[in-house]
Amino acid sequence: MNEIEIRMLYHSHVYGGDTIKIGFIGPGKVGVSLGRYFTHKGIELSGFYGKDDLNAIDAANITKSKFYNNIQDIIKDSDILFITTPDDIISIIDIELSKFDLNNKSICHTSGSLKSNVLCNAKHSGAMIYSLHPIFAFSSKETNLKELEDIYFSIEGDILENSSIISVLKLIGNKYFVRKAEDSSTYHLASVFVSNLALSLLDIGTSYLKKLGLDDEEALNALKPLIKGNIDSIYAKGFVNSLTGPIARGDITTIEKHISVLDDKDKDLYKILSFNLLKLVALRDKNNADITENIEECFYDMKNKSQIENVLSNSKKHLEIYKFLGGVN
């Protein structure tokens, strides 16, 4: 029996009723939203602790739980502690927690970019440690609980089938997957691309409508049906079957016009995203398995132009677009 399995003997809880309590260190948007959701799912909260007493009191009132003005008491009253603070504070809290006996406790942070071992001091003090990341953008403490029903969680740490955190995830009913510690940066990158960087891309897109005299709200509302329709199509039909626009059609005249009005700062971005669309076009128009197997690799190795040209050789107009975009600096 290894160390984790031995510790699990001391971390066994009967789930249901009031045999487990979850506490939060960090009374912000993530902590309060998760606290409300766990309560909604029948899990009892111990309460909230934070550096700002007023915020912690507000979080406790919202979730009908307890306010703690010292870290020792919330440790004592909680079976599982969630650290829902900014990333750069987690290691500081880890040191504070490790000053106390953490046997029979589970400590988890909700950062997607940090490994569970940022809580190494807590582990040395007896705790089971985890990185448990909800794949969701929490913009408010009043997060719609119905939206949280559909989110995935990813988890990394001291995981066994009967570990306390897994039991909680099964109890709330959300889907989850286990990730390796060494994959944390790759995992978080996926979220950043479709959330933060997508936000940036939308901001850039609306900026071109604002050049026509529309304000922020008008520009975003004008593009909303297009944005939503595209997302809905991707979920219904997948990326390849949702292709539209001049790259998909092979309309080089339109692309040339785009280049002529693009701000210099946006040209490289346009090129990179268009190359990715050409990859999807190649997948759509594939004729044999041998070529298909090389599509992903060759498109991301921009030095290997001969392979890309081979993949696009069945469509002269798409090959022409590729060569034209290759000249954009």
| Residues pairing with 164 in the sheet | none
Identify the bridge partners of residue 132 per DSSP, sorted by sequence position.
155
The percent of residues in the chain predicted with pLDDT above 90, rounded, is 73
What is the rounded distance in angstroms from the CA atom of residue 11 to the CA atom of residue 103?
8
Tell me how far apart the alpha carbons of residues 47 and 60 are, in angstroms, rounded to a whole number: 6
Is the model's pLDDT at 214 over the cut of 90?
yes
Contact 31, 24 (CB under 8 A): yes
From CA 45, how far away is CA 65, in angstroms rounded?
A: 6
Per-residue tokens: 169: 């995830």
Crossing angle of helices 316-325 and 252-261, in 10° steps, is 20
The backbone region for 281, taken as left when phi is positive above 0, alpha when psi lies in -120 to 50, beta otherwise, is: alpha
The first and second tokens of residue 191, run together, are 């979220």
CA distances to 57, 216, 251, 285, 287 from 313, in Å: 65, 42, 16, 11, 11
DSSP alpha helix (H) spans, the chain? 3-10, 29-40, 53-63, 71-77, 87-97, 120-124, 145-148, 164-172, 184-194, 196-210, 216-237, 245-249, 252-261, 264-284, 289-299, 305-311, 316-325
Q: What contacts 327, CB < 8 A, 6 or more positions away?
A: none
Do residues 31 and 81 lie in contact, with contact meaning Cβ atoms separated by under 8 Å? Answer: no
Contact 272, 204 (CB under 8 A): no
Q: What percent of the chain has pLDDT over 70?
A: 85
Q: For 267-311, how does the pLDDT look when each residue is reduced to its tens digit (9 = 90+)?
A: 999 999 998 898 888 888 775 444 545 566 666 554 556 666 666
Q: What is the pTM of this model?
A: 0.80
Task: Examine the pLDDT at 323 and tell me if it is beyond 90.
Answer: no
Give the residue from 149, 167, 137 showing the smallest Cα distance to 40: 149
Mean of pLDDT values over 182-194: 92
**Is residue 12 classed as helix, strand or coil in its secondary structure?**
coil
Q: Catalogue all structural domains in the chain, each as residue range(s) with its CATH number.
A: 3-180 (3.40.50.720), 243-329 (no CATH)
Cα–Cα distance measured from residue 24 to residue 75, given in angstroms and rounded to the nearest whole number: 10
Task: Give the amino acid at 222.
Answer: A
Residue 249: is its pLDDT beyond 60?
yes
Distance of alpha carbon 249 from alpha carbon 17, whole angstroms:
59
Q: 38 versus 162: which is more confidently predicted?
A: 38
Region 50-79 average pLDDT: 96
Q: Which two tokens stand for residue 108?
A: 């988890």
Q: What is the pLDDT of residue 329?
A: 47
Q: Which pLDDT band holds residue 13 (cuts at 50, 70, 90)?
A: very low
pLDDT confidence of residue 164: 84
As given in the structure block, the two tokens for residue 270 are 């346009």
Question: What is the rounded CA–CA span in Å between residue 298 and residue 276?
Answer: 11
| Per-residue tokens: 3 | 């160390």
Question: Do 58 and 27 meet the contact criterion of CB atoms below 8 Å apart?
Answer: yes
Please compute the mean of the pLDDT values over residues 93-117 and round it to a whole number: 96
Residue 211: phi, psi to the nearest 5?
A: -65, -20
